[in-house]
Amino acid sequence: MEQTLTEISAAALAEVASASTHPEIDAVRVRYLGKTGEISKISEGMRDVSKEDRPRFGKLLNEVRTAVQSAIDAKVADLQAQADAEGFRNIDVTLPGTPTPEGRLHPVTLLENRVIDVLRRMGFALADGPDIEDEWHCFDALNTPADHPARNEQDTFYLPDGRLLRTQTSTVQVRVMRNEPPPIRIIAPGACYRRDEVDATHLAQFNQLEGLYVDTDVSLADMKSTIEQLVHETFGADTELRFRPHFFPFTEPSYEIDIRLEALGGKWMELAGCGMVDPAVFENINTARGDRAFDPEKVSGFAFGFGIDRLAMILAALPDIRLLTENDVRFLAQFQA
C-alpha cells in the first residue's frame, strides 16, 4: 500500500508539473484530491492497515496530500503570474494617463455646507422632507388657511391630484413634529418652488434652509443668540445684523434678519425669516398626532428659514441668478471647494 501511495504521489506531482492551464490543474486536483480522487480512495484503505502500521501510514498519507496540495497551489500562482505578465506586455506604464476632470461644488452647495457645519456644531441634526407636498403640510398646519393672503404670495405649481411643489422648507417642521416629540433641534436644507417669473433675480426653483428648536423654556433670547452666533461664524465676527419685525403666519413674534458686511458693499441685505413658533401651529400638530406632546403651555420654540440662492449670488458677486441653474461648467469651475 505504501508502494501504491508513493507511486500515486509521484504521478500526481508529475501531472502538476506538466499542467499548463487552469482547467488542466483543476482536473489534476479533482483526480487526486477530490472526494473520489486517488488519494481519498487510498485513505479509505486505512481500515485494512494493521494497527501498528497505521500511524506511519497515516503520516505518509498526510505528507503526500500536503505535498500535492502545495504543488497545485504553487502552480496556480505561477499560472496567474504568467497571465498577469502577459496582460501587461503591451502596456507602456510610463505613458501619461487620460486626465479625469475634477468636479467642483456648486456655490449654493458651498454656502449650504458652511451654514450646516456651524449649526451641526450647535447640536442641530439634519432632517428632510419631500419636494412634492400636500396643502396641509405646506399651509394649513402652518396656520395659513386657504383664504389667507400669504397663500397668494406663495403661489406654486399644483399637480392634478391637488398636491403641490412646496413653497418653503417650513413643511419639514411640520413633518418632524408629527413624528417626534420634543425636544427637537433640526435643520432642513432643500429646494422650494414658486410661480415666479424667471428673471435676473428670480427663479421658480430656489433653495432654503430651515431650522426648528422646540423644548421647555425656549426663549426669544435663545433664538437671537443662536442666529447671531450662526451669522458671525458663517460670515465673520464683524458682520452686523438686525432683527426687523415682520409677519409670518406660523411664528409670533416674527422677524426678518438682515446682515451688513463691508465686504459686500456695506448694504443691508435680507438673510432669513424667523420667529417664535405660534401656539396655533403646536395645536395643529397636537390634533394631527392625537396627543398633547406640543402643549403650548409646556413647550416653546423658535424657527428660522434662510434663503440660500440670493446670498450665494451676493457672496459670489453674480450679476444674474440664472447662472446658478444653467449648468455651465465654465461658470461652475470658478468655485473652490
What are the residues binding ligand DAH (CB under 6 A)? 168, 170, 210, 248, 251, 254, 273-275, 303-305
Which among 320, 321, 315 has a CA at the least distance from the CA of 335? 315
Q: Which is nearer to ligand DAH, 168 or 234 (CB)?
A: 168
Q: Which is nearer to ligand DAH, 173 or 239 (CB)?
A: 173
The distance of closest approach from Cβ of residue 251 to ligand DAH in the complex, given in angstroms and rounded to an integer, is: 4
Q: What pairs with residue 125 in β-bridges?
A: 186
Contact at 8 Å (CB) between 186 and 305? no
Is 325 buried (19+), middle (13-18) or exposed (0-12) by CB count in 10 A?
middle
Which among 29, 27, 32, 30 has a CA at the least distance from the CA of 43? 32
The distance of closest approach from Cβ of residue 301 to ligand DAH in the complex, given in angstroms and rounded to an integer, is: 10
Q: Which is nearer to ligand DAH, 61 or 303 (CB)?
A: 303
Rounded CA-CA distance 294/316 in Å is: 41
The distance of closest approach from Cβ of residue 94 to ligand DAH in the complex, given in angstroms and rounded to an integer, is: 58
Q: Which is nearer to ligand DAH, 61 or 257 (CB)?
A: 257
The distance of closest approach from Cβ of residue 120 to ligand DAH in the complex, given in angstroms and rounded to an integer, is: 18
Q: What pairs with residue 190 in β-bridges?
A: 208
The distance of closest approach from Cβ of residue 311 to ligand DAH in the complex, given in angstroms and rounded to an integer, is: 14
Torsion of CA 118, 226, 172, 111, to 10 degrees: -30
Q: Which is nearer to ligand DAH, 243 or 304 (CB)?
A: 304
